[in-house]
A and B are shown apart, each in its own frame.
Chain A
Amino acid sequence: MYEVRFHGRGGQGAVMAAQTLAEAAILLGHHAQAFPYFGAERRGAPVRAFARIDDKRISIKSQIYEPDMVVILDESLLEIDPVVDGLTEEGMAVVNTTKSPDELDLGISVRCATVDASSIAMEAIKAPAVNTAMLGAVARMSDLVTLETVKRAIEDRFGEKLGPRAAEANILAAELAFEKTRTGICKADRTIFQKKVWLPTWEELPTGTTVYPEHIDGVAVGPGGSMQNLTGTWRNATPRYLKDKCIRCLRCWFCCPEGCIKRSEDDHVSWDYRYCKGCGICSNVCPVNAIEMTRGVTEW
């Protein structure tokens, strides 16, 4: 049995990638299954999807903890999610990055394929949906599936859903990625990011479902909420607070979907940028333009 775990951001198509890989394997006569992990869903949050491939009927329905291959659709996840968890040195990684395999540092030294799937997706699909480009790289990396079957699976899956033109563009993305994929061995210098997850025993768990502000930084979303899911470096714009302009209406605090704006005693606000995804909603709702969105990842 071969197990693949996909890591992406909400919106990048990790689930479709896993399904398409399974379909490609099935076209080759294998058995396969693909399924998503549903967590606190939101655009930009780290998501996981899984695929299993085998020659016999697959009789396991649990998540994948020791993958043979990880496919990382977004390099910035390395800073916020332990994406190589359970991967051994015999495993493989396929990563969307501009780096070559020997420049890439996954924190574990494994056989590795790298491809600039973001640029390829922009070129072929005109959108940052990197999933099909990544499948091209997977086909190049291992003999799990061939480029031909990946193309056919894309045609089936995307063609049926989004029409023949979308299928064509996605097939082109897979082909380009197949050509441009570089293979090698990656470095193991970084310390692998470990999530700090609050996992109380049943005795420690507070009674009921109410979570008080003092428990988790003012974000009363309950156990397992967004507090455990850093969005962090994914944003490409950062809100900057112009305190002098602020009239303390607290609309930004109320509207931020990530709950990363904090309110002080005097009703001024401040930001916890670890959770800010740069959506700009705070800036939009501010009646006096006291929040400006600036490009890139910055903290003030």
Chain B
Amino acid sequence: MVMKVLSADHAVAWAVRRAKAEVIPAFPITPQTLIMELLAEFIADGEMDADLITAESEHSVMSIAVGASAGGVRTFTATASQGLALMHEMLYAAPQNRLPVVMVNVNRSLGAAAGIWVEHNDSMPERESGWLQVYVEDGQEALDMVLQAYRIAEDERVLLPIMVCLDGFILSHTVERVEVPEQEDVDAFLPRFKPAFALDPEDPSTINAIVPPEYAMEMRYQLDRTVERSKMVIKEVDEEFKERFGRGHGGLIDTYKMDDADHALICLGTATSTARAIVDELRSQGRKAGLIKLRFMRPFPHEELREVCSGLRAVGVFDRSIGFNRYGPVFTEVSSSLSGQGLKVTDHIGGLGGRDITLRDMRDIYAIIGSDAEGKEVKRVNWHGLRGVQT
């Protein structure tokens, strides 16, 4: 294992190199560019044997990825924001055709109002595309998750594409110490991709043919069950990863100081790091605050959340995205998981369009959840860092 000082984008490129991806369609979009730049360098310097295919749009990038994966090779791509939106149509081709593409989405807001900064409103709408979706917190997790993603995606019980989401700039461009595993260790963990089926000119076949109503329902149900079943694989892969590399990330969810907690925040992405600092602060004041790091949005860890939230007096949900006219998407999902448990849930919306989430914001969030736990009157939906009166 070599220690390097890398941005999360570069950590991703190192993971892709170690995973020996063979086809990499690329279209540059901020803040994803650092990933493709470094991969292009690896390939140009002969350190990686892959085809980097530049396309004229992200729609074509996803089409190429689908084609390459259908051809039976390990495929990687990355995108962000408008790029992901432009892929939207082609995204749907991968899951139903059971193609294990791994894609990193560097979260960024969608214009208008145009901006290059982090927001989850680009990836959240793609929850229903059939892609598995994981959100990471730091450069190490980004690297490790790309490796794990291939194992999960290519597992024959799964065979689904995975989107690894990381926060634009706050994470993509932050340098930290990152451990890059040795090639032979990765090879042992992630053997060469053996596709269950692949397009082959010697033995022609058709994929993605039209599916009439007689079959469509069953296909959708099959996909639904597969997404559910991927939970088990995600846990297994994380455990094996931990055994081999000494680091696990918790699988579907990770928890921090939850053992005796009476209130907690459910959080994803880099906001989790800042939340952790506040949990430490509250604990030092004798408050029973905890943190639940929601890693996967698909599959959504319904049972796991119910279990870890049972016994809590109040829980808050952090949303770096907004479903217009009240709740954020994470809140909606969490609420449906926890419904019937009689638990008080508040929504906390912040960090939109790249607004910095400060320690103070996080302190305010926990203060509201704490008051909720004590039975005080609080607002169900709270925007943090917003100027003006919340109505």
A-side residues, CB < 8 A to B, are 19, 22-23, 26, 31-36, 38, 58-63, 65, 156-157, 199-204, 209, 222
Contacts and interface: CB of A to CB of B under 8 A. Distances in A.
Interface of B: 3, 5, 112-114, 116-117, 167, 169-171, 173-177, 270-271, 273-274, 276-277, 280, 356-359, 386-389
A203 B116 CA distance: 24
B7 to A, nearest CB: 8
B358 A65 contact: yes
10 contacts: A22-B5, A26-B177, A33-B174, A33-B176, A35-B169, A36-B173, A59-B277, A62-B356, A156-B5, A202-B387
Given A36-B169, A38-B117, 7 more contacts: A23-B5, A32-B176, A34-B174, A59-B280, A61-B270, A63-B356, A202-B388
Nearest to B279: A59
A10 B167 CA distance: 23
A199 B385 CA distance: 12
A62 B359 contact: yes
A38 B177 contact: no
A61 B167 CA distance: 11
Contacts of B280: 59
B106 to A, nearest CB: 13
A60 B274 contact: yes
Contact of A62 (B169, B357, B387): B357
A216 to B, nearest CB: 16
Nearest to A51: B175
Contacts of B112: 209
A19 B175 contact: yes
Nearest to A23: B5
B42 to A, nearest CB: 13
Given A26-B177, A202-B387, A203-B389, A60 B171 contact: no
A38 B176 contact: no
Nearest to A35: B174
B277 A34 contact: no
Given A35-B169, A59-B276, A201 B174 contact: no
Contacts of B169: 35-36, 38
Contacts of B117: 38
Contacts of A63: 356, 358
Contact of B387 (A156, A157, A201): A201
Nearest to A24: B5
Most buried by B among A22, A59, A60, A61: A61
A26 B276 contact: no
Contacts of A200: 387
Nearest to A27: B5
B104 to A, nearest CB: 18
B387 A32 contact: no
Nearest to B5: A23
A23 B273 CA distance: 21
Closest 3 CB pairs of A and B: A201-B388, A35-B174, A202-B388
B387 A199 contact: yes
B273 A59 contact: yes
Contacts of B114: 209
A31 to B, nearest CB: 7
Nearest to A201: B388
Given A34-B174, A62-B356, A209 B113 contact: yes
Nearest to B170: A61
Contacts of A33: 174-176
A200 B177 CA distance: 39
Nearest to A203: B388
B273 to A, nearest CB: 5
A203 B390 CA distance: 10
Contacts of B276: 59
A34 B175 contact: yes
B192 to A, nearest CB: 30
Most buried by B among A19, A26, A59: A59
Given A60-B273, A61-B274, A35 B387 contact: no
B2 to A, nearest CB: 12
A33 B7 CA distance: 9
Nearest to A41: B116
A204 to B, nearest CB: 7
Contacts of B113: 209, 222
B174 A204 contact: no
A31 B3 CA distance: 12
Contact of B358 (A62, A203, A209): A62
B162 to A, nearest CB: 23
A209 B113 CA distance: 6
A59 B277 CA distance: 6
Contacts of A157: 5
Contacts of A203: 388-389
A201 B390 CA distance: 10
Nearest to A30: B177
Contacts of A199: 387
Contacts of A60: 273-274, 277, 359
A209 B112 CA distance: 8
Contact of B5 (A19, A65, A201, A204): A19
Contacts of A22: 5, 175-176
A23 B359 contact: no
Nearest to B140: A57
A80 to B, nearest CB: 22
B370 to A, nearest CB: 20
B94 to A, nearest CB: 31
B386 to A, nearest CB: 6
A35 B389 contact: no
A35 B177 contact: no
A203 B277 CA distance: 33
A262 to B, nearest CB: 25
A36 B280 CA distance: 26
Most buried by B among A33, A157, A209: A33
Most buried by A among B112, B167, B173, B280: B173
A38 B170 CA distance: 10
B313 to A, nearest CB: 25
